[in-house]
């Protein structure tokens, strides 16, 4: 089994698609560790604020099959791929890490570069895996967050899913 961390973001019907993402991930992977939900301004374009969070789970799927499944979950939740790369979306699920793999695996770059670039990825990752080391940098996520110097505002959002206040672990 591989330990996987994914980032999830939505800025369209945020409560609906946050819950939908968690439902789908739980259905396919079972136990989840879920960070707090953070709200942040759109990065790279002008648009509605996003909800972002990180989810950890274990899987037997290889990277390529996992990537296809995550894109299918996005598509089943109305993800439009016709617009510009930086635009609003119902659901965006990206593989951040897959065990300690480093490199390009079936078109998926691991670890994902956004980990160290975007507060809305790094902070929730540091929240649920503070002592885990970044596969390439070999620095703990808590330390990477402490050293983070970009000016990106984000704040926690009270969010409940299946009777659990996030952050939480769901079996």
User: What pLDDT is recorded for position 85?
Assistant: 55
Q: What is the pTM of this model?
A: 0.92
User: What pLDDT is recorded for position 140?
Assistant: 98
Q: What angle do CA 32, 50, 130 make, to 5 degrees?
A: 45
| Counted domains in the chain | 1
CA distance 121 to 162: 23
Helical (H) or strand (E) element with 67 = helix 63-76
Structure tokens belonging to residue 64 = 């390529």
Segments of the chain scoring below 50 in pLDDT: none
Partners of 6 in the beta sheet? Answer: 55, 95
Q: Which residue range(s) make up the domain with 80? A: 2-170
Tens digits of per-residue pLDDT, 18-58? 999 999 999 999 999 999 999 998 776 667 899 999 999 99
Here the CATH number for the domain that contains residue 147 is: 3.30.70.560
**Neighbouring C-beta atoms of residue 140, cutoff 10 Å:** 16
User: What pLDDT is recorded for position 46?
Assistant: 67
């Amino acid at each position: 089994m591989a330990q996987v961390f994914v980032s999830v973001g939505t800025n369209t019907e945020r409560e609906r698609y946050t819950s939908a993402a968690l439902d789908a991930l739980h259905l396919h992977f079972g136990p989840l560790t879920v960070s707090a939900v953070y709200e942040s301004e759109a990065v790279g374009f002008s648009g509605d604020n996003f909800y972002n969070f990180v989810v950890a789970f274990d899987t037997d799927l290889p990277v390529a099959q996992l990537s296809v499944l995550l894109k299918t979950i996005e598509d089943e939740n109305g993800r439009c791929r016709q617009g510009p790369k930086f635009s609003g979306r119902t659901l965006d699920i990206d593989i951040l890490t897959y065990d300690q793999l480093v490199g390009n695996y079936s078109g998926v770059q691991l670890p994902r570069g956004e980990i160290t670039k975007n507060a809305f990825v790094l902070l929730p990752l540091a929240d649920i895996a503070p002592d885990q080391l970044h596969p390439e940098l070999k620095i703990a996520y808590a330390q990477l967050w402490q050293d983070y110097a970009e000016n990106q505002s984000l704040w926690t959002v009270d969010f409940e899913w299946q009777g659990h206040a996030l952050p939480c672990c769901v079996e």
